Structure 1
Amino acid sequence: MDILLATQNRGKIRELTRMLKPLGISVVEPEEDIKVEEYGNSFMENAYLKAMAYYKKYCIPTLADDSGLVIPSLDGYPGVFSSRFYALDWGGKEPVKTTKDQANISKVLRLLEGRSDRRAHFKAVVCLMIEEDLYLFAEGTCQGEIVETPRGSEGFGYDPIFKPLGQERTMAELSPEEKDLISHRGKALRKLLEFLKECKSFISYPRASMS
């Protein structure tokens, strides 16, 4: 089965490719970025919007995910705004000194200063669009907490400040294989693929090209 990844995020592409290829799924990267207005109020809505936009452009089975960091003591932020949290008026905008990821991390750490409740979880919702009227959802979460200082160089996004429950290392200090076993995205993908295995007609969906 060929699956188009509905993203231009290099970190997500690396992670999704790493998890899907061993399962016999050929990953297709989009040739061009598609601007998708993520106006949904939930990860599920935004995953659907991205999957639909890329499917309409390329007309092959398309996998999209929407994911983010949820911090209860910050009223659930960054949430669906995780990728652009630094630019939100809520909590005050954070200047981009190096990268947007770093600005997002700096804002979270600033807002959590002096707070004892640093609980957080990552959540991911994946949407596999097989046809415009045939699509599947699955979700996964990873519980943990926010550390006071970024640690590690693996992963991307908020990984350097997120310590998974039961771990002494941050997500960015774990190896890719260790991360895949416990990550929100890994859990969501495994749920989706388990369902696909039970639906032989989906697995045998004809291979397609980008033309």
Structure 2
Amino acid sequence: MTLYIATTNPGKLRDFAAAANHTITIEPLPGLKEIPAPPEDEPTFEGNARLKAIYYSRLVPGKIILADDSGLEVDALNGAPGVRSARYAEDSNFAAPSGVSTDERNNLCLLEALSKIPGPRTARYHCVLAAARDGEITAMAHGTVEGEILSAPRGTLGFGYDPLFYLPEQNKTMAELDAQTKLAFSHRGRALATFVPLFEAN
């Protein structure tokens, strides 16, 4: 059984590829870059994951489309950046040094926001997966992982906020874990572990 994942994010594609097993193959949706993206304007991860899965599945009849929405929730920031994780710096009009990537700009914006707030830097990654075929949702799953936000990035293996997201039980950031180890601890890996048996049961 092949699931077509609706993302062009190389980090997400690596995570999903690492999760494939002998019964399920996960492939990028062909031609996704040429398909206009739907507006991700829902206030929750679940809403956006459902929206994307339904939208893309209507464009490729008969195929099972897997979509995710995920992000970082920082307790001291009342759950921000949340569903706006990928656009956090843009939304904040944060001015970053020239030449930095979008991920680096978001990380700098997060550190700037937290520099004004004393106390713990507890946070979690949250992922919601939705599968759809012909405009109908067939399965959904959630995954979270708890951690802390460091004051400086560590590691080069991750993407997004991974260099700042510290796992106390591992004494490492997400960006210091190899792909297979990361899958065992990440929000995306946990969502996939819940999703696969639900999907196979349908």
TM-score using structure 1 length:
0.87
Match of 2:112 in 1: 110
Deviations 1:106-160 (A, max 9, x none): 0111111152220000000000113423421100100000011100001110000
CA distance in 1, matches of 2:46, 2:97: 28
| Structure 1: gaps (5+ residues) | 203-211
Match of 1:26 in 2: 25
**Quick one: which amino acid aligns to residue 78 of structure 2?**
D
Q: Which residues of 2 match residues 25-174 of structure 1 at below 5 A?
A: 25-30=24-29, 31-33=31-33, 34=35, 35-59=37-61, 60-89=63-92, 92-95=93-96, 97=98, 98-113=100-115, 115-174=118-177
Offset of 1:13 from its aligned partner? 1.0
Match of 1:196 in 2: 199
CA distance in 1, matches of 2:124, 2:79: 10
Match of 1:209 in 2: none
Residue 125 of structure 1 aligns to a residue whose secondary structure is: strand
Offset of 1:32 from its aligned partner? 2.8
Residue 153 of structure 1 aligns to a residue whose secondary structure is: coil
Deviations 1:139-194 (A, max 9, x none): 01000000111000011100000012412110000111111001001001110112
Residue 149 of structure 1 aligns to a residue whose secondary structure is: coil
Q: Which aligned runs of 4 or more in structure 1 are off by greater than 4 angstroms?
A: none
Match of 1:177 in 2: 180
**Quick one: which amino acid aligns to residue 93 of structure 1?**
F
Q: Does the 8 Å contact 2:60/2:134 carry over to 1?
A: no
Root mean square deviation of aligned Cα: 1.5
Q: Does the 8 Å contact 1:5/1:63 carry over to 2?
A: yes
Deviations 1:182-209 (A, max 9, x none): 1001001110112233x2xx3xxxxxxx
CA distance in 1, matches of 2:124, 2:56: 28
1:186 and 2:189 matched: yes
162-171 or 126-135, which deviates more: 126-135
Q: Does the 8 Å contact 1:146/1:161 carry over to 2?
A: yes
**Quick one: which amino acid aligns to residue 41 of structure 2?**
Y
**Quick one: which amino acid aligns to residue 90 of structure 2?**
A
1:16 and 2:19 matched: no
93-102 or 39-48, which deviates more: 93-102
Residue 32 of structure 2 aligns to a residue whose secondary structure is: coil
Residue 172 of structure 2 aligns to a residue whose secondary structure is: coil
> How many matched pairs?
196
